[in-house]
Amino acid sequence: MEIVGYAGSILIGVSLGLIGGGGSILTVPVLVYLMGVNPVLATAYSLFVVGLSALVGSFNNMKKGLVSYKTAIVFGIPSMLSVFLTRKYLVPAIPDQIATIGGLEVTKSMGMMLLFAVMMLLASISMIKGRKNALDGEEEEIKFNYPMIVLEGLVVGSLTGLVGAGGGFLIIPALVVLARLPMKLAVGTSLLIIAVKSLVGFLGDISSQPIEWMFLLIFTALAVSGIFVGSWMSNYIPGHKLKKGFGWFVVVMGCWVLTKEIILR
């Protein structure tokens, strides 16, 4: 199963390179169900994997001038604070036994996996529906709705801290609507935001989680190498066509996680 898990880490990177996002949503299920990592620790590992992968992906956008640094700062600061505080204080404060519902005992690990499954289903909707191409190429002046951007940053940061996912499917629409960024600029900026807030969130775990650095670095290196493979493959395979199919795959995975945690537990 470990070999399959390491192969899964490469596929995560390949999917990121091919479709430009969404692949990181599979990181926690791979770590939990294939590598046998505790769900709480898996969300911490996922932050590191997602953060470094997004950072690698954002370099190419920086070279192309597809990153709005001012927007990244305005959106990223509340998001970084939120994810750090969530990992540092909120996650450790959640009791191991949350509640008992109809004879079903909801544990901390189970609750985090259920929340993650919901995030997977929300992300899949974004991938299946696709982005509005009409927004591509708009050259509106960037205007900030500061209160809503701060609120959105706090919400996305909290969710990222709880489930270990990047949340690009939440960030990109927010940047388009609240900061009026063109779609391509929003995508590039979101990668930088995801990278920074995920890595900052991981810092909140270093003192409270038993990090196995060798395992984490090998897993992350394989995922990052997969990004380069996926980027090369994207020259021959149209990623936008794969994204809808991948979205349906995430739907199946999300439903499977729900079934495993509620029915098969």
Please state the domain extents for the chain. 2-262
Q: What's the pLDDT at 151?
A: 86
Say whether pLDDT at 134 is over 50. no
Least reliable range by pLDDT among 54-58, 65-69, 141-145: 141-145
State percent of the chain over pLDDT 70. 88
214 — pLDDT class (breaks 50, 70, 90): very high
Per-residue pLDDT at 208: 78
The residue among 147, 146, 152, 148 whose CA lies nearest residue 168 is: 152
- Sheet strands (E) in 30-167: 97-101, 104-107
Structure tokens at 233: 């493959």
Mean predicted confidence (pLDDT) in 206-219? 89
Structural contact between residues 205 and 211, judged by C-beta atoms closer than 8 angstroms:
yes
SS3 145: coil
Indicate whether 129 pLDDT > 80: no
Query: Per the confidence metrics, is the pTM higher than 0.85?
Result: no
pLDDT at position 8, please?
Answer: 85
> Given this model, what pLDDT does residue 133 score?
46
**pLDDT value of residue 136:** 46
Write the CB contacts of 237 (distance below 8 Å, at least 6 apart in sequence).
Answer: 18
- Residue 212 confidence (pLDDT) above 90: yes
End-to-end alpha carbon distance in the chain: 20
